[in-house]
Amino acid sequence: MPDPLLYVAGQWRPGRAGTAAAVSPSTGETFAEVAVADRTDVDDAVTAAGAASAAWAGLSAFERAEWCEGVAAAITGRRADLAALLTLDQGKPLASEAYDEVDELVGYFRMAAADVRRMAGAAPASTSAERRVLVHRVPLGVVGVVSPWNWPYTMGAELFAPALAAGNPVVWVPAPSTTACCTLLAEVIAGQDPPPGVFNFLPGPGPVVGQALVGHPGVHGVGFIGSVATGASVAARAAGKTTLLELGGNGPMVVLEDADLDLAAQAALEAAYLCAGKSCTAGERFLVHAAIAGEFTERVVAATKAQVRLGDPFDPATTMGPLNNEATAAKFARHVASAVADGAVVCTGGRLADGFPTSLFAEPTILAGVTPGMEIAREETFGPVVPVIEVNSAAQALELTNGSPFGLTAAVFTADLERGLAFAERARAGWVNINASTNLWESHLPFGGRSGSVSGRGRVGGAFALESFTEPKTIVYPAPSLRG
């Protein structure tokens, strides 16, 4: 188990605010102590990062890429340890999800290494024949990263891996409820000997450490993944800085009357139950044509009962573990109860499960008779639930999709590709899948909220994140002359 320490300026040290207990959501037991930073620790980390900025930016892209490859290799070497602690700390099943997250984490560092090697500039024409122009991308400076608890490794890495590769020193604040596993990841990264100040790790409460970091005058860029409410606060605190904000979603999964119902029902399981529904890309609303809504719901119920196994996340047979914290469990219970009170019907599940060591295990739940005005249809539940809303046409499904303040992901199921493309082009979402779950995504592609929505700004994903943490610099110089 990692020691309860911060990593600042190349050194491990205690947090000035002491320590906090790391509690397993699956057992309720305290299994470790973790460090807690304060605002003075933030000042120290930002100062160290600022002092390291010029030298790190001064390395070649290939040198920084080689370091990122070393981190990827070190993560691979600790794969089993990282996966096991992720399961203990976050609650996701070891066999079906935790190892996958560690493998994706490796991919983020390898991708950052590959992308920075290919980062190109331009030589646009000048208005004068006597001048030449060069445009190349340069790092922003110190980048603050604040990451969530649902994917503790990859949601941080999709921000700080490209930021580091691009030449920015990083200060990382992980979510408090998954600090233990993030401390182990920080140990692995620090073990690759980044120059002092290039990588800094500051666990602590978001309202204290996170807010101090994003508003710090020594921070030049901010990457945040988390809730809409916290994202708004981050945006306000980071005013004037470059920001990349990937926020919440209420993704609709639309199933039209000509859809392949077996395919759609299977995709619904991935959309609703991956990470126990704790995903910004989860299918939070299932807009199903009335002609096939009953049959679709029956198939999803049958598939849920046959395939979803709620239980001990260390058991290889488990496919869904607990929710991570009490606030998320309470919101799941409140949304389901409110929907039932307003007329929705529970087809299966519908409550927090009994018979487990903690009250964080939520039954996989399917609701029929949900209407667009219900709380569960308007807000992000972040739990394992399939709320089925009947629609009478693709046009109505599109209207409901675009009527939401969210705009992160959507999915549509139809046998007619042209019809699917027409829906996808008109849907106000940053990402739309056709005949695939809302949770299907590829980490090298641009991902983020649609403009005008509450789901964020900017794009993560491969070279697109790399661009977010760099900016173009223009150099104009006299045209060279041949001498001699």
Round to whole Å and give the CA distance between 220 and 243: 9
Round to whole Å and give the CA distance between 134 and 127: 14
Pick from 356, 364, 452, 358: nearest CA to 402:
452
Q: Are 455 and 433 in contact (CB under 8 A)?
A: no
Residues ≥6 apart with Cβ < 8 Å to 187:
2
Residue with the two structure tokens 């699956």: 26
Q: State the catalytic residue, choosing from 97, 101, 246, 390.
A: 246
**Which tokens go with 345?**
């019907």
Whether 280 is catalytic: yes
Q: How many CB atoms lie within 10 A of CB 416?
A: 13
Q: State the catalytic residue, choosing from 181, 275, 280, 347.
A: 280
Burial (CB count within 10 angstroms: exposed 0-12, middle 13-18, buried 19+), residue 53: buried
**Which tokens go with 360?**
């964080």
Residue with the two structure tokens 């500051």: 202
Whether 375 is catalytic: no
Residue 216 main-chain phi, psi, to 5 deg = -65, 135
Amino acid at 283: G
Pick from 9, 38, 46: nearest CA to 218:
46
Round to whole Å and give the CA distance between 252 and 377: 9
Helix pair angle (99-118, 61-77), 10° resolution: 170
Residue with the two structure tokens 């126990």: 276
Q: Are 225 and 148 in contact (CB under 8 A)?
A: yes
Indicate which residues carry an active-site annotation.
246, 280
